[in-house]
Amino acid sequence: MNAKTQPHDLPEGACLTAKVPDRDQALLGDVVVNPYRLAPLTAIIRDGGRTLSAGHVRVLGRGERGVDIVYDVSDRSLWTYGGIPVFGLYPDHVNQVEVSYKLDGERIRERYEIYAPAVRLPVVAKQTAALPEVEPVKVAPGFEKRLYLFNHLLAEIPGGRAFKWNGLGGAAEWDSVGNNWIADSNGDVRWYLDIEQIHDSNHRDGLGGTMGFHQTRDGKLIWGQGQTYSKYDLLGRKVWQRNLPDKFADFSHEIRETVNGSYLLRVGTSDYRRPDGKRVRSIRDHIIEVNEAGDVLDFWDLNQILDPYRGELLETLGKAAIQLADGVKKQDERLANELAEGDLPFGDVPGVGTGRNWAHVNAIDYDADDDSIIVSARHQGVVKIGRDKQVKWILAAPQGWPARLQDKVLKPVGEGFEWSWTQHTAWLTGHGTLTVFDNGWGRDFGPTRLTGNYSRAVEYRIDEAKGTVEQVWQYGKERGDEWYSPITSVVAYQAQTDTQFIYSASVSFLTPEKLTTSVLNEVRRGTQEVVVELKVHSRQPGSVGYRALVIDLDKAF
């Protein structure tokens, strides 16, 4: 075999070497690393003008414990990419890549050596590595081929500057750099998003943390970022990237595909007129539904559906003053720290009333059975809302809800029931239950504590007709502080493996002198049997995990 370097145009920082077979009659075209400039650990082996079919790729694992990445390539993908897409290269390594394909009815097999460059991402002071370290603690047989996408956020913006909205109440834009990568079950980086291609703190449409990653039914990735939302494939090829519709602003946390092919996004509004006449930017309190073309099909204004002046949990967290607008009466005496109008600013600050972060919606799900949405509002609870904008039920402690919603609060039945507190994600499982990540900050309206806390992945069964809720499973409570994540995190049922996928993403967040740790688990449904545990150690001050998810290559190519 002779080493051949294929000439082509490369983006700055990308490198390429490829060793290919001598048989010129079987040799394909150039090997292009990072073909779309967004995913540096991918490549395309060009077809060289030939018509290929039935592609197959195997990226060989590195070292004794290395994980092979193996997948088939559809004819559609061979045509789309003009060759064979290669996913899962190790960074700063000469990768061994085996491919096969049919050409003129003959099955041809070849091996390529493809160098991928080292990880290159923004850095901050005292950082010790480009990405967090993923430490495999346990990987049970049958889970060795798992691929996990990690979505972390870095609060400090390297070289950035503050960017604030000065109109309509002065709501500060929430900016952050996203670290987004895929690791295999051995903890090795096999893909990452070159965030500098899409994030820019000095421009409006480049602001915001990349959040809400999901893999769609067609294998693509969706996410949102500040004033935009996007859909790309795993090679970094853009399907679309759009600005939010003009009536809305400030995406973060969640974008979801529905079974109808539409998308649900958590946003605020760019211009909201309150009952007192003030015009503000509303904060994390609207859900919009858009179609594939970006047209708004519907929206849910939680200021009208819920009660933006319910402040029980905000008061408990000790981070917000409770301020009532002129003419608004207190629900009860728990809202004892009412301030004079004007003492609490508008903007992305915890507080009651439209124009402040009273709801903090962090997750959405869609129930096709009755065309409803399920909303996780961190500062209020979990709520199911119909297309008619009427509340069907509320999964939250009963204190503080107004009279018109009190009968919507579910009544606990069964043994061992606990409410969820400052929860993240509230997603249907597909077998009649709902999973919630119960963060536990502000539990039982108690004060913030640095020790003696716990978080849980919890599964509830809700009887809408009877208005009851039963707790059927939980995991994590017994692990206490070493598994406690006061913010972020996720639990999502995996039908293929019948496991609950859990990411406790912000351990040690309340201890500023410590770097955060995240713990990824897969637990067999209905049991305490852990089949996967990975610990993710931050190596960047200010970095915190948001979510993670399982990546399915079978539908990607």
b/e 270-304 (16+ beta carbons within 10 angstroms → b): bebebeeebebbbbbbbbbbbeeeeeeeebbbbbe
Q: Please report how many Cα atoms fall inside a 13 Å half-sphere around the Cα of residue 393, on the Cβ side.
A: 15
| Distances 233 to 40, 123, 289, 479 between C-alpha atoms, Å | 13, 26, 22, 37
Count Cβ atoms within 10 A of the Cβ of residue 470 and give its class: 0-12 exposed, 13-18 middle, 19 or more buried.
middle
Task: Find out whether 439 and 487 touch, Cβ atoms under 8 Å.
Answer: yes
Query: Interior CA angle at 249 toward 178 and 234, to 5°?
Result: 40
The tokens for 452 are 């003696």
The tokens for 45 are 């082996």
Closest CA to 471 of 501, 436, 521, 514: 436
In single-letter form, the type of residue at position 407 comes to: D
Closest CA to 246 of 174, 175, 285, 294: 294
Neighbours of 494 (CB within 10 A): 16
Instruction: Name every residue whose Cβ is closer than 8 Å to that of residue 537 and which is 6 or more positions away in sequence.
Output: 132, 133, 135, 515, 517
| Residue 152 designated active-site | no
The backbone region for 449, taken as left when phi is positive above 0, alpha when psi lies in -120 to 50, beta otherwise, is: beta
In single-letter form, the type of residue at position 475 comes to: Y
Task: Find out whether 84 and 47 touch, Cβ atoms under 8 Å.
Answer: yes
Task: Find out whether 541 and 153 touch, Cβ atoms under 8 Å.
Answer: no
Closest CA to 98 of 117, 64, 71: 71
Q: What is the DSSP letter of 368?
A: T
Dihedral sign from CA coordinates of 312, 317, 318, 324: negative
Given 93, 214, 424, 431, the catalytic residue: 424
Dihedral sign from CA coordinates of 210, 215, 216, 218: positive
Residues carrying an active site annotation: 424
